[in-house]
Structure 1
Amino acid sequence: MAHKTSIVNFSLLAGVALTLFSGLACAQSSVTLYGIVDAGLLYTSKTANSSTGENSGKQFSFIDSGSTPSSFGMEGTEDLGGGLKAKFKLENGFSTANGGAGISNGNFFGRQAWVSLQSNLGELKTGLQFSPFFLALYRLDPRGLSTFGSSSVIYADSVVATGVFASNAVSYTSPVIAGFTGSVLYALGGEAGNFSAGRNYSADLMYDNGTLMIDVAFYSGNPGGTAQTPVPTDVGFTGRMLGASYKFDSLTFKASFTSYKISGSFSNNVYGGGINYDITPALNVNGGMWYTIDRNNSSNHSILAAVGTQYFLSRSTSLYGQIGVVNNHGKMDTGLSVNGATQEIAGTSVGTVVGIRHLF
């Protein structure tokens, strides 16, 4: 009888332990799949010839990511106890036009591929990630950094993907303290005989009280290095940004100043601003304007302006329409769209894009 009782007790204990540990494992870790599928139709009144730089005429084309970069990825979190969490993210950029690589550095997980530790002391992140400078650009763009008619076009025209997708990087982001948050990033470069080649670093300091946000960011990167990617991410440049936003309920005003100083090339200042307004939970309108001037030659300058609207058919699916105009003087070649019209010729060009976006 005693022998049977011990067997019953052992089975009961084993079952309880298994239940507890199974519940603990479920509570401590999770993995989520997510993505964006975005496709649009683009029209521009002029098209810059990539070989001659002259006007090739009007264009009407199907483009990927008319508003937001198409992407898919996975992210996960594990609770390590004591307020400490391990996190990871793998994110791919793809094209709805042909199924190939989309807005990324050209690699399979060319948008993000990192692992981090997070606690109440902040987050330490290692791997391919967005730089603090680029994230500040996103926060201060009144059009949500749309791939059409926003500061993202000026960024891509200036330095392609450098500073967006930072390879071989280590970063630290502080917790929020009295409304302030700071971030620093250091990306290792180096090549045989030149330790500093491709090395870059970035920093950001933001204050946000829910109504007023002030953001200042910095980026400095050397050309070259061993982190070569299919889409250039090794342009040597120094970037600075200062901006602010103010929110009245569903209406937000944003303004910013950004400078791009390219090694051995141009030095541009960009002054921008605009509004973002949620008319209803299902309807958003926004508009922005950016003036770019070459500090080395003021005859080179441009004005880019765009407005857009997005209507949500559901929480996941929306339709959008955008219209923009750019006026280039001198050698300035500011474009209208990251895809299909990154650069435009001198004079005035008009463009529009309509499309559909789905989140999952």
Structure 2
Amino acid sequence: MFNHETFKLKLVAGAAGLMFAGMVQAQSSVTLYGVVDGGLLYTSKTLNSITGQNAGKQFSLIDSGASPSQFGIAGTEDLGDGLKAQFKLESGFSVATGAYNDSNGNQFGRQAWIALDGKFGNVKAGLQFSPFFLALYGSDPRQFSLFGSAVVNYVDNVIGTGIFNPNAVSYTTPNIAGFEGSVLYALGGEAGNFQAGRQYSASLKYDNGSLMINAAIYDGNSGGTGQTPVSTTIEFEGRTLGVAYKFGALTAKASFVNYKVTGSFNSNVYGGGLDYLALPVLDFNGGVWVTSDRNHTANHSLMAALGTQYFLSKRTTLYGQVGVVNNHGAMNTGLSINGALYGVQGTTAGVNLGIRHTF
């Protein structure tokens, strides 16, 4: 005798089994992550933003002395045969005030993208870092510390342009015998001007585990539809060449960068330094950056910094940093992204002590 109830139960059980099998085959994960970084900053001189003169010493609590404070959500789904769908939403904030910081000023102003990753490489669409910015990060001996590193020169010249690229599509090749390439195209445009805010970037890197060499370019127009609270569409051309070599626990890095900013400096920046992991819980690093304006060589600066990190655990780090910058002419290089981005003429010394926790 046919039992309708038994049939319904078998049908539901079969459907549930198929759904479960599909879920097992296409595994997915979502991760919440972040960095909380805060510290104390002292500088012997401070820029008066109104007069452009020295406003005297400062001692203050700042956000993000070493790493940008941020939180984000990252997800991935295994689609099979090596293909994955990925996404990331990342926001920058100030541990000192709770406001948006270390971003373009929007809620997810650091990264907001979706991607496909597979044997062919990686295709990504949305707000993302440019190949030019990532290449500079790879050749910086102080890992882009927000105090006394190459990123201070970067932001001093072009604010967030090239770091946070809105309306962008990028492609990164798979690693082939140590070589990897990446290109980015950010669609700008506005009524009557499709070139406004348009941005291009490309990089090429070779890395065999000991030796790394990279090169990258960036070209960006002003304006467009990607306007944000923090400027990310300053018109400039960027070029860089970097190298790194690892000798056991010691890594040496050097780089050349040119920032040709429309209506401002055409700066060559020569940098280099060392990073030494003295103990599994103790790291030392230092670097020197010389900047010269090709349009007016009287405008030049020298910045040097030393830093140490003590890892209390895998997630919590104490750090200390000291730096000095010397500006001539109209050059205004500062010491810290937060609290001392722009400097004054003459010599300024600074110290930053802080704590960083990752989760």
TM-score range, shorter chain: over 0.9
Q: CA deviation at 1:281?
A: 1.2
Q: Is residue 346 of structure 2 the alignment partner of residue 347 of structure 1?
A: yes
Residue ranges of structure 1 left out of the alignment (5+ in a row): none
Count residues in correspondence.
358
Match in the other structure for 2:228: 229
Supply the distance in 2 between the matched residues of 1:14 and 1:262 (Cα, whole angstroms): 61
How many angstroms apart in 2 are the aligned matches of 1:13 and 1:32?
31
- Compute the TM-score of the two structures, normalised by the length of structure 1: 0.96
- Structure 1's 239 and 22: CA in aligned 2 closer, same or farther, altered over 3 A? closer
Once residues 22 and 243 of structure 1 are traced to their aligned partners in structure 2, the CA distance between those partners, rounded to angstroms, is 44
Residue 145 of structure 1 is matched in structure 2 by: 144
Q: Which residue of 2 aligns with 1:291?
A: 290
Question: 3-state DSSP class of the match of 1:326?
Answer: strand
Aligned residue number for residue 23 of structure 1: 24
Counterpart of 1:306, as a letter, is: A
The structural deviation recorded for 1:9 is 6.2
Q: Deviations over 1:193-230 (max 9, x none)?
A: 11101101000000000000000000000111121100
What is the percent sequence identity of the aligned residues?
Answer: 63
Is the alpha carbon distance of 1:4 and 1:214 closer, same or farther for their aligned partners in structure 2, counting shifts above 3 Å? same
SS in 2 for 1:314: coil
SS in 1 for 2:21: helix
Q: SS of the counterpart of 1:134?
A: helix
Partner of 2:70: 71
Q: Distance in 1 between matches of 2:318 and 2:192?
A: 52
| Inter-CA distance 12–201: structure 2 relative to 1 (3 Å threshold) | closer
The 1-side partners of 2:49 and 2:288 are apart by: 26
Q: What is the TM-score of this pair, normalised by structure 2?
A: 0.96
Partner of residue 189, structure 1: 188
Stretch of structure 1 that moved more, 7-16 or 184-193: 7-16
Cα shift at 1:264: 2.4
Give the 3-state SS of the residue equivalent to 2:156 in structure 1.
helix
Inter-partner Cα distance in structure 2 for 1:101 and 1:10? 52
- Compared with structure 1, are the counterparts of its residues 15 and 132 closer, same or farther at alpha carbon in structure 2 (3 Å cutoff)? closer
Displacement, 1:266? 1.6
> CA, structure 1 residues 317+194, in 2 after alignment: closer, same or farther (shift >3 Å)?
same
Cα distance in structure 1, aligned partners of 2:72 and 2:266: 36
Residues 58-95 of structure 1, C-alpha deviations (whole Å, 9 max, x = no match): 00000000100000000000111222111000000000
Partner of 2:140: helix, strand, or coil? Answer: coil
SS at match of 1:107: coil
Partner of 1:143: helix, strand, or coil?
coil
CA distance, structure 1, for counterparts of residue 19 and residue 191 of structure 2: 54
Judged with a 3 Å threshold, the aligned counterparts in structure 2 of structure 1 residues 2 and 304 are, in CA distance, closer, same or farther, namely same
Letter in 2 for 1:23: V
1:85 equivalent in structure 2: 84
Q: Distance in 2 between matches of 1:18 and 1:188?
A: 39
CA distance in 2, matches of 1:106, 1:306: 28
**Counterparts in 2 of 1:1-360, with a 5 A limit?**
3=3, 7=7, 13=14, 16-17=17-18, 19-25=20-26, 28-360=27-359
Deviations 1:210-254 (A, max 9, x none): 000000000000111121100011110000000100001111000
Per the TM alignment, residue 4 of structure 1 is displaced from its structure 2 partner at its CA by: 9.8
Across the aligned residues of Structure 1 and Structure 2, the Cα RMSD in angstroms comes to: 1.6
